[in-house]
Chains A and B, each alone.
Chain A
Amino acid sequence: MPGAVGDLLVEMDGISKDFPGVHALKECRFDLHRGEVHALVGENGAGKSTLMKILAGVYRRDAGRIRLNGVDVEIPTPRAAQLLGVSIIHQELSLMPNLTAAQNIFIGREPRRRLPFLLDEHALNENARRLFEGLHIKIEPETKVAKLAVAQQQMVEIAKALSHRAEVVIMDEPTAALTETEIDELFRIIRKLRDDGVGVVHISHRLEELKRISDRVTVMRDGQYVATVDTKDATIDQIIRMMVGRTIYEAAPEIPEVVDPNVVLEVQGLSRGRAVRNVSFSLRRGEILGFAGLVGAGRTEVARAVFGADRPDTADIRVHGKAARINSPGDAVRQGIGYLSEDRKRYGLALGMDVEANIVLATLRKFLRSFGRVDVRRTHAAAQQLVERLAIKTPSLRQKVRNLSGGTQQKVVVAKWLTANTEILIFDEPTRGIDVGAKSEIYHLLNELAHQGKAIIMISSELPEILRMSHRIVVMCEGRITGELSGRDATQEQIMTYATMRPPVAKAS
């Protein structure tokens, strides 16, 4: 391996990337030395993964240049990246579960016997065994990957990267699914890679983790490069400030004044596997309760469990003070709970049907005449009324929902729940994929609904949105609620601190 520790391995400069409708990256830069662990941090959507996927050949850059070992390179495909010594370990591991660990590592590069189409299984397993031994990992090469724990599967990916003689190993949130002890083991291996002269890029949300593992930290925000600092010189607070330091949304908060003291929904001790752990909160009439946290913190899982879409391990849910048994979404609807999912297209709307049909779909039973015939006059009237009340911008009730904009579709979903006399509305990322103009309309609608006495849970990964809308803010991290803040005086920094906090409970267990 040419070059010594400290040599520049990767230089990325002026990297830009557009996806339809989004500037994902604007003039980003990044560099990596031989034998260092370089952490890449930023909020959701800051562009960390996109930047690294460009380096790994998953995406192609629109502008900028990449130099590896001082030479300008094109990286058109993942295969090309591998040949250049760049390996990425994706957050969703890309292994073949029915093949063994060894077979996965050497897929496409199997050692052959004298007849070149025959595989040399013995050499294959021996090579894998040697790789694992080099990393001091105890995994049997002949074990099927499906039988390995997530942490072990990650080790297989790392071994695979090394078998490609990777000089650059990119890890996209490698610790997200691991326990404390597993993280220790992973860090041991990362340090070993570093000592062997490999450059490691560590993408992470967890800031306290960076202190333990990284030599330098690069912060990104809104698809742009912010700064690179030596880890030992920076405090976590400084890094957080760099991550959130923007001002674009800082308009006056639209938080309406008083909150009704009536508790509408009370959740105690909600748990579901590792995704939701002992979550408790209450929701009052006319209140907007913000659920903040990073992607994967367990917020959607809480919503789905409350809504009966997933069965919780334990839960005590009370609606209007009465214990509610919610085993299916149908039960939740009868209790007056509505869930507006993040993915409206998949769960919320029948795209091929028109506005009216969608609005009355969930409550068709209310609009029946004898012999199960639909009373078209009444569905029409009900839909018309809601279209006016919510100011749904549609040329007619007969317009197919597919042809409406994202914001308007969102309103149709709201209208659907309002026909069901829903008292509690759970909005999961209500403004995702909606342009800025329509966003403010959605905000207005949420305020209006709260004002009318609906109780609202709003899950959002956008901090300014959470701050602007919520009366109270609950922050989650790794399935637990790590903090509760008042919407009036919460700051982005506070939320970020809670959202990246490993729950103290974890250490006790």
Chain B
Amino acid sequence: MRIGSIELTPARRTTLMRSDAVQRLLAFAALIVIVVIFSLLSPNFLQFDNVVGILLATAVNGILALGVTFVIISGSIDLSIGTVMTLSSVMTAVFITEWHMPVPVGILAGVATGALAGLVNGTLVAKLKIPSFIATLGMLNVAKGLALVVSGLKPIYFNDTPEFNRAAMGSVVGGVIPGLDIPNLVLVLFGCALVAGLILTTTVLGRFTFAMGSNEEAARLSGVNVDAWKMAVFALAGVFSGIAGVLIGARLNSAQPSLGQGYELDAIAAAVIGGTSLSGGEGSILGTVIGAFIISTLTNGLRILSVPQEWQTVVTGGIVIIAVYLDIVRRRQQQ
């Protein structure tokens, strides 16, 4: 490389799997390959109803993954997103069904619950300096327990408010383009993804998310209020958990207090498959969405091929290991 009139040592060797953009491309190619293979193996795979099924399955996990993407890029981890989602859906149900509040208030309550839990996570990590793995593991159990306590161990149904379920599962798109009955839930996913993408790439919050994950000390020395922004990142993840909670409640027409644990791992997997680095500082919303689709497509396809549930889990686990390994290989080549 020439700088001015003199020779500088060349920048580090460019290699095949260099940037997260490449990982994103790889993930997208993988998604295409998966779709092609399953549609060859089963004629039912590309049926409209099945595709809608995949989209529905992606919606909740995808939105959780959006939030955790921010946390991972900032150099932390959030294990509590799954059960915070559950707590949020229970809170929505309590507001709507038990306290007979209007549906929008219930939705707001759910999202607020998620935000609050996220803020607590952020405080534990940023102010009390508890490692995020431990702090959010604690929150995982706190939220799980609270969901059971608040709901009285039983599912709460939204039977008095059928419009709640209808709003999520109905289809605005189908109204405009007859036959294309894509549930509104799916639109919420894409809407959230769009907003998340804009936050990550165009706002101060997004910039500091990358900065903290890249070199927290350098960010601090540059005058960035790392503690406050870290709390904001966790709160944002909480907001997405809250939205996911509202959506899963609407979709199931009930708040299921025992659901939710394990969702965090699928969401983290989606982010990692999409090129978000567990070491922080790298990642993208597009990648995470693709990652979420890979997981749901894979699960769906395997189910169509009548692969037993337990083997589906084995396969998703294997995919995550491969994705993380690719990330490590990439990292090693960069050094």
Contact = CB atoms under 8 A, between A and B. Distances in A.
Interface of A: 78-79, 82, 94-99, 103, 107-110, 112, 117-119, 121, 136-139, 146-152, 179, 181-182, 184-185, 188
Nearest to B277: A98
Contact of A96 (B2, B6, B203, B281): B281
A79 B218 CA distance: 12
Contact of A119 (B7, B10, B207, B217): B207
B207 A136 contact: no
Contacts of B224: 107-108
Contacts of B214: 96-99
A108 B222 contact: yes
A184 B5 CA distance: 11
A94 B4 contact: no
Contact of B12 (A79, A147, A151): A147
B7 A181 contact: yes
B253 to A, nearest CB: 37
A398 B104 CA distance: 68
Contact of B223 (A108, A147, A150): A108
B202 A97 contact: no
> Ordered nearest first, which 10 A-B pairs have the shortest CB separation?
A96-B214, A98-B281, A94-B218, A98-B214, A96-B215, A107-B222, A108-B223, A108-B224, A79-B223, A181-B6
Given A117-B203, A185-B8, 20 more contacts: A82-B223, A94-B221, A95-B215, A96-B214, A99-B214, A107-B224, A108-B219, A108-B222, A118-B202, A138-B2, A146-B334, A147-B11, A147-B12, A148-B11, A149-B9, A151-B9, A181-B8, A184-B6, A185-B4, A188-B4
Contacts of B222: 107-108
Contacts of A188: 4
Contact of A98 (B202, B206, B210): B210
A149 B8 contact: yes
6 contacts: A96-B281, A97-B214, A110-B204, A151-B8, A179-B9, A182-B6
A136 B10 CA distance: 19
Contacts of B7: 181
Interface string B8-39: 11111000000000000000000000000000
Given A96-B215, A136-B4, A119 B9 contact: no
Nearest to B214: A96
Contacts of A110: 204, 207
Nearest to A94: B218
A117 B205 CA distance: 8
A185 B6 contact: yes
Max chain A Cβ within 10 angstroms of own Cβ: one of B2, B12, B214: B214
B2 A118 contact: no
Contacts of B218: 94-96, 107
A119 B210 contact: no
Contacts of A98: 210, 213-214, 281-282
Contacts of B4: 136-138, 185, 188
A78 B221 contact: yes
Contacts of A119: 202-204, 206-207
A185 B334 contact: no
A103 B207 contact: yes
B3 interface: yes
A185 B1 CA distance: 13
B255 interface: no
Contacts of A78: 221
Contacts of A118: 202-204
Contacts of A146: 12, 334
Interface residues of B, number: 32
B135 interface: no
Given A118-B202, A181-B8, A185-B8, A137 B215 contact: no
B111 interface: no
Nearest to B203: A117
Contacts of A107: 207, 211, 218-219, 222, 224
A206 B255 CA distance: 70
A118 B12 CA distance: 32
A57 to B, nearest CB: 9
Contacts of A147: 11-12
Nearest to B198: A118
Contacts of A179: 9
Contacts of B207: 99, 103, 107, 110, 119
Contacts of A117: 203-205
A211 to B, nearest CB: 20
Contacts of B2: 138
A147 B9 CA distance: 12
Nearest to B73: A98
A271 B205 CA distance: 46
A26 B202 CA distance: 49
B211 A99 contact: yes
A110 B224 CA distance: 11
A97 B210 CA distance: 10
Interface string B297-335: 000000000000000000000000000000000000010
A152 B3 contact: yes
Contacts of A138: 2-4
Given A96-B211, A97-B281, A185 B217 contact: no
Interface in B196-236: 202-207, 210-211, 213-215, 217-219, 221-224
Contacts of A148: 11
Max chain B Cβ within 10 angstroms of own Cβ: one of A94, A96, A118, A149: A96
B278 to A, nearest CB: 13
Contacts of B12: 146-147, 149
Contacts of A137: 3-4
A33 to B, nearest CB: 27
Nearest to A155: B3
Contacts of B202: 118-119, 121
Nearest to B205: A117
Contact of B210 (A82, A99, A109, A139): A99
Contacts of B215: 94-97
Contacts of A150: 9
A434 B206 CA distance: 47
Interface string B146-157: 000000000000
A184 B224 CA distance: 34
Interface string B246-274: 00000000000000000000000000000
Given A96-B218, A117-B204, A117-B205, A149 B10 contact: yes
B65 to A, nearest CB: 20
A182 B221 contact: no
A188 B206 CA distance: 36
A454 to B, nearest CB: 37
A99 B212 CA distance: 10
A108 B223 CA distance: 6
A159 to B, nearest CB: 13
A60 to B, nearest CB: 15
A138 B3 CA distance: 6
A149 B210 CA distance: 21
B1 A149 contact: yes
